[in-house]
């Protein structure tokens, strides 16, 4: 895929767009509005377009927990049943990021699982996996994403 970068203006205020042969990927106009049609169907406006800063998918039933896939995660520390520390390769700029997480049993037994992140630091965060009864539990598949 070939990319083309195009810019106009006087060096202080202008337009910038990154395109492929099929159209815009990202463009920015004089107002600071960012458009990313190929990423999200055409988001426009002054609200920031955020990207995932890290993700990890782990097997919590392995001992210790093993990483199945990740970006910007150097390791996962298994702190005990259902309790993990996720360590970043590159630190976050502040400990005010958001973590979305979930777990799955991969079994026919239906369970309500809660994956709750806590103890945020710029270099890592901790997450606890529990059943709806509040009991710590290891899960076959735990996924987490970080947005800041």
- The whole-number pLDDT of residue 131 equals 81
37 backbone dihedrals φ, ψ, rounded to 5°? -65, -35
105 backbone dihedrals φ, ψ, rounded to 5°? -90, -20
- Give the C-alpha distances (Å, rounded to integers) separating 110 from 77, 104, 105, 106: 27, 10, 8, 9
Q: What is the pLDDT along the chain (148 residues), one digit of tens a residue?
A: 455 555 555 555 455 555 555 555 555 554 555 454 444 445 566 666 677 899 999 988 887 789 999 999 999 999 999 899 999 999 999 999 999 987 766 655 556 677 888 899 999 999 998 887 788 888 888 899 999 8
Pairwise CA distance, residues 116 & 3, whole Å? 40
65 backbone dihedrals φ, ψ, rounded to 5°? -55, 140
Element (DSSP H or E) covering residue 17: strand 14-20
Q: Are 5 and 16 in contact (CB under 8 A)?
A: yes
Encode 74-132 in three state secondary structure: EEEEEEECCEEEEEECCCCCCCCCEEEEEEECCCCCCCCEEEEEECCCCCEEEEEEEEC
Residue where the block lists tokens 């996720």? 86
Structure tokens of 96?
A: 């005010």
Q: Are 65 and 76 in contact (CB under 8 A)?
A: yes
């Amino acid at each position: 895929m070939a990319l083309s970068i195009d810019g106009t203006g006087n060096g202080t205020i202008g337009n910038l767009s990154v395109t492929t042969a099929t159209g815009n990927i990202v463009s920015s106009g004089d107002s600071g509005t960012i458009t990313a049609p190929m990423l999200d169907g055409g988001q426009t406006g002054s609200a920031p377009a955020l990207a995932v800063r890290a993700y990890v998918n782990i097997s919590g039933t392995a001992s210790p927990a093993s990483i199945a896939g990740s970006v910007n995660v150097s390791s996962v520390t298994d702190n005990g049943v259902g309790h993990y520390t996720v360590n970043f390769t590159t630190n976050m700029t502040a400990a005010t990021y958001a973590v979305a997480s979930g777990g799955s049993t991969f079994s026919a037994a239906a369970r309500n699982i809660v994956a709750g992140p806590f103890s945020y630091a710029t270099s890592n965060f901790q997450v606890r996996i529990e059943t709806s009864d509040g009991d710590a539990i290891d899960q076959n598949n735990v996924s987490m994403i970080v947005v800041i």
